[in-house]
């Protein structure tokens, strides 16, 4: 009898401990927000563009998904969302929000004021993508997306499907944004969206480069090629494409794709300088060769030397450029502070030198054993 009573008490307690997130809401009564574009007004107040899904109340075959856009301003993001509640017939639900896009204007003004709710409110997902958009939000919302009606779903698929296939594209979630913000250096690198004219004259939205935020404020913009170098520094994308001159045919190029690349990063401090060592080992495979190529041992050695030289040059330039700007996109300060917590250097990046140790083996794209 006591066991039964205990069980009943336990079940009632369990039923009462469900938390705020578990509240009955019929799915068709929810306004499913799929994307948010955060812009700032003249006085710094947030203006948020909401892209949302609301089902149409029609029966039969005429039923279709209804994309609705709301533009709301307010003193705070919370106030904006409260206002949104009064605009739609359905209650907003952010559990399907795929991307939070900050306008470049907002990034330049600093995101500190506009991001707190995304981390604090339990309904907002930490797994939503984050990006910075260089342009007017209206244009982005009107952009033609290949086969998609929803901006949020388009970018969700884009980042999910191509993230590990292209080194020029990085994927950042809300959680990564906050991680970067609270690490030493306070650097977050977000993908940059731009509108570019297509061959048909229409403007299409593309991921082009990356925005570098320090303490949530835009401090630099990486070009698409620099994102490739950034990916090697962060070791995020295994597939990097290298294009170098064809040794057998001057004026034409060879494209090589990295395979099984392994990068080891080490930070050492000898009292005068901080050595950032990047040990890059791996194979590269032939992807394309313009004109003929005759892979004699000499030419393979030539290719290898040229490839290593190119990687060293690119990474070296990238390192020096952002070291000069004191923008720690290498995550150096975080690594340094963790390894040498007792050192009180003000700006470790100033004392940093890059040391590269690159080993590359060139392999064929087809007959692997016959190639060697």
Report the interface residues with other proteins, using CB under 8 A.
7, 11, 14-15, 17-18, 21-28, 30, 32, 34, 53, 55-60, 63-65, 93, 95-96, 98, 125, 153, 156
Interior/surface letters 66-84, b for 16+ CB within 10 angstroms, e for the rest = eeeebbbebeebeebbeeb
Backbone φ and ψ for 362, nearest 5 degrees, come out as: -95, 130
Cβ proximity to other proteins: between 56 and 357 the closer is 56
Look at strands 129-134 and 99-103 and give their pairing.
parallel
Cβ proximity to other proteins: between 61 and 344 the closer is 61
Name the minimum Å distance from CB 95 to other proteins.
Answer: 3
Name the minimum Å distance from CB 60 to other proteins.
Answer: 6
Distance CA 123, CA 306 (A): 51
Distance CA 191, CA 177 (A): 11
Cβ proximity to other proteins: between 60 and 201 the closer is 60
Name the minimum Å distance from CB 131 to other proteins.
Answer: 18
Name the minimum Å distance from CB 194 to other proteins.
Answer: 25
3-class DSSP state for residue 241? strand
Cβ proximity to other proteins: between 63 and 165 the closer is 63
Name the minimum Å distance from CB 11 to other proteins.
Answer: 6
Distance CA 22, CA 15 (A): 11
Cβ proximity to other proteins: between 93 and 361 the closer is 93
In three-state form (DSSP H/G/I as H, E/B as E, the rest C), the secondary structure along 23-82 is CCCCHHHEEEEEEEEEEECCCCCEEEEEEEEEECCCCHHHCCEEEEEEEEECCCHHHHHH
Name the minimum Å distance from CB 59 to other proteins.
Answer: 5
Cβ proximity to other proteins: between 64 and 338 the closer is 64
Are 212 and 172 a contacting pair, CB within 8 Å?
no
Distance CA 177, CA 315 (A): 24
Residue 330 buriedness (CB in 10 A; 0-12 / 13-18 / 19+)? buried
Name the minimum Å distance from CB 22 to other proteins.
Answer: 4
Question: Could you tell me how many residues make up the chain?
Answer: 372
Cβ proximity to other proteins: between 34 and 208 the closer is 34
Name the minimum Å distance from CB 56 to other proteins.
Answer: 6
Between the CA of residue 348 and those of 215, 248, 274, 332, what are the distances in Å?
A: 17, 44, 7, 8
Structure tokens of 300?
């393979």
Name the minimum Å distance from CB 344 to other proteins.
Answer: 45
Exposure of 350 in the CB half-sphere (CA atoms within 13 A):
4
Cβ proximity to other proteins: between 93 and 277 the closer is 93
Cβ proximity to other proteins: between 36 and 311 the closer is 36
User: What totals of helices (H) and strands (E) does the chain contain, helices first?
Assistant: 11, 13
């Amino acid at each position: 009898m006591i066991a039964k009573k205990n069980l009943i008490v336990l079940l009632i307690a369990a039923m009462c401990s469900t938390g705020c997130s578990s509240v009955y809401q019929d799915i068709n009564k929810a306004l499913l927000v799929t994307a948010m574009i955060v812009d700032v007004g003249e006085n710094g107040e947030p203006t948020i563009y909401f892209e949302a899904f609301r089902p149409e109340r029609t029966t039969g075959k005429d039923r279709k998904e209804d994309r609705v856009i709301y533009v709301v301003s307010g003193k705070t993001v919370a106030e904006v969302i409260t206002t949104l509640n009064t605009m739609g017939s359905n209650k907003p639900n952010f559990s399907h929000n795929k991307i939070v896009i900050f306008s470049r204007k907002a990034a330049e003004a600093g995101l500190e004021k506009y991001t707190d709710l995304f981390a604090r409110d339990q309904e907002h997902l930490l797994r939503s993508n984050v990006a910075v958009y260089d342009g007017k939000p209206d244009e982005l919302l009107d952009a033609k997306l290949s086969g998609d009606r929803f901006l949020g779903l388009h970018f969700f698929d884009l980042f999910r499907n191509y993230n590990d296939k292209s080194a020029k594209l990085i994927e950042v979630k809300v959680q990564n944004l906050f991680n970067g913000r609270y690490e030493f250096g306070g650097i977050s690198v977000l993908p940059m969206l731009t509108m570019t004219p297509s061959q048909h004259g229409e403007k299409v939205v593309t991921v082009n480069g990356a925005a570098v935020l320090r303490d949530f404020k835009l401090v630099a913009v990486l070009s698409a090629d620099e994102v490739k170098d950034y990916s090697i520094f962060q070791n995020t994308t295994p597939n990097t494409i290298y294009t170098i001159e064809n040794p057998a045919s001057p004026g034409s190029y060879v494209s090589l794709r990295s395979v099984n690349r392994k990068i080891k990063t080490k930070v050492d401090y000898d009292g005068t300088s901080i050595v950032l060592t990047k040990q890059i080992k791996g194979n590269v495979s032939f992807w394309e060769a313009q004109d003929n190529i005759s892979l004699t041992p000499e030419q393979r050695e030539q290719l290898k030397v040229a490839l290593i030289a190119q990687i060293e040059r690119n990474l070296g330039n990238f390192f020096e450029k952002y070291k000069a700007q004191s923008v720690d996109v290498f995550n150096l300060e975080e690594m340094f502070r963790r390894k040498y917590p007792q050192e009180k250097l003000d700006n470790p990046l100033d004392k940093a030198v890059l040391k590269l140790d690159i080993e590359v083996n060139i392999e064929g794209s087809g007959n692997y054993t016959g190639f060697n």
